Amino acid sequence: MLKVPRLDDLSYEQMIQRAVSRIPAMTDQWTDFNNHDPGITVLQAYAWLTDMLNYYLNATGDVHIEKYLKLLGIEPLPAQAARCYLAVEGEEGEIRIPAGTRFLAGEIPFESEEEYMGTGNRFCSFISETDGSAMNLTAFAGADGEYARAFAHYFHDSSILYLGFEKPLSDGDRLYICIKADERRNPFDEDFRLCSLRWQFFGEAGWTDLDTEDGTCGFLKSGIVRVGGISAMERFRHPEGMGEAYYIRCILEEDAYDALPGIGMIYVNPLEVVQQKTVCKEGEILPELQIGRTDGCAGQELLFDYPDICRFSLALETGEKHFDIWKYTEDLDQAGYRDQVFTYDRDTQCVRFGDGIHGAVPPQNCLIHVTGLVCSMYEKGNAMAGSISVAADAGDSSFRVWNPEDAHGGKGRETVRQMAARMEEELFHQQRMASAEDYKSVILNTPGLMLETAHVIPGTVYGEITGKLRGVNEVVVVVKPYSREKKAGLSDIYRARIETYMEPFRLLNTKVSIEEPAYVGITVHGKIHLIRDTPRDREKVIECLKDMIDYERKEQPFGATISGGKLFMRLEALDEVERVQELTLERTGSAAVKNERGDILLREDALSYLEAADLGFY
């Protein structure tokens, strides 16, 4: 990025001193350099003028920077109010909650935007079935914040999830399913899936397919599943006698899960609320929200001091009980000369009308009222889970609500500094894979995947160490996904998604191949004398071996050398060890060799792990 030059780099005193110092070189007739000399006075006047011009040229404030950023296509992201879903429970019968009902999380207000109609149905049973063997996990699904594991990785015939409810579901019902988020997973869009699911409900004709809209992306994130095609549900009891209820089930047809999903509570027809407080509706006139009169001048400004403003309009009283509504615009420069719009500066709390070129000039002597005023606390409104309840003025108290998960998404308007940072990120975003770091950066950020590390190897080098023919213009990237297994491989869907994502970044004359790591198990044989032979001291020795051998504990794990000498010295340095009598290393797998000193040399695509510790403690 270009360095912005500093124009105001000379002070007034420095300019005077520099000008006076040049006088003797230009004439020998000027000998009086004191302040009373008319020539010095003229120099001082020009120095003052130059200082002022430099100051104004250099005074690029946030307003100017924002306009420069807009020229680059970087518009400020608007403020957003926090949102969340509320679980609704009530007595028998239908529950009705009008739009605009206010709820409170302490002193933080939330409102419903749409009318709610529901029956207060509750989730009551969670059964996981694998190859005909069922397990009742209801006690774990959502209890005390717990999550129950859905499905199974290894099955022959079927892996099915049964979800039971106290009352029948209706066509179009929405289920909010709480999913345990995995922070290791890269962000992904709504189309991302790692599985194929088939939903069914139990009715008069037995199990019948459902038409669903899955907002959880196949149980990868919390969201709404809308069930369609339900007719008359009937109660169902699992053959093993677990939990009679009204059931729907989810059949895992194609499994490519890297980690089985954890499912918490499920809420039927939750109520979506937004963190805001409606002071008055659009067109409603309140006496206390009159802010002044129009003066008929271009660019008129008025003060409107109100806390936590989210949005509002202005009603100009042009006649007796006749009002013209003027709308807010983000930028008057984009408005036409007839557009009845205004802008509002939240920092100065100032309303400003157009000048007749950008935005219309309002007629003279009209009372100005604020209408449609909505307030929001933005980033301060991200309330914690369980903190929202019905407000005192909500009216109907025959139901209760709570938010099972945190309110999220609340954020203020993007600042100029944040816009500049986003500009750098967008304009200098990685576009091509040229260096080894480029390959790693792009591949490890493949959307939706959980990738631990990657290593880039030239194709010819990879061909030499593996015996597989590779081209001169080929690059091999060895990718290790996150996994509980020590020897984690790459699934077909992982490989396909990485190849699809990196293709736009690939240089045209370069072939890129994705490979999984080779794994080398290390067995340590030895005799170690401990100062005190206790289980805790033995564990310290094992941990020391893992620190030196396991790839998970190394900064540069690929192609490492497991040195028997360094391992010997590291064990000798432990406070718990008196002396190491004997120590040897052995390997399993063909991706490493043992040299004459007893060290294990890994191949460049290989990772090591401690397979066994055959140690005698004395």
Three state DSSP letters for 352-382: EECCCCCCCCCCCCCEEEEEEEEECCHHHHC
Identify the pLDDT of residue 1: 42
User: How would residue 250 be classed by pLDDT, with cut points 50, 70 and 90?
Assistant: very high
Cβ pair 91, 120 in contact under 8 A: yes
Identify the pLDDT of residue 35: 87
Identify the pLDDT of residue 133: 87
CA distance 533 to 530: 6
Q: Which amino acid is at 495?
A: R
| Kind plus residue range of the DSSP H or E element containing 404 | none
604 three-class SS:
coil
Identify the pLDDT of residue 2: 47
Identify the pLDDT of residue 326: 96
When mean pLDDT is compared over 25-29, 395-399, 604-608, the highest value belongs to: 604-608
CA distance 597 to 125: 62
Q: Residue 8 above 80 pLDDT?
A: no
148 three-class SS:
strand
Over residues 30-34, mean pLDDT? 88
Token digits of residue 206: 């037995």
pLDDT tens column, 355-370: 999 999 999 999 999 9
Q: Residue 99 above 80 pLDDT?
A: yes
Phi-psi region of 560 (alpha: psi -120 to 50; beta: other; left: phi over 0): beta
Q: 436-444 and 492-502 are packed helices; what angle lies between their axes, rounded to 10 degrees?
A: 120
Over residues 389-417, mean pLDDT? 81
Over residues 115-139, mean pLDDT? 87
* Cross-sheet strand order for the sheet of 518-530: 577-588, 518-530, 606-617
Scan for tokens 């190897």, then name that residue: 457
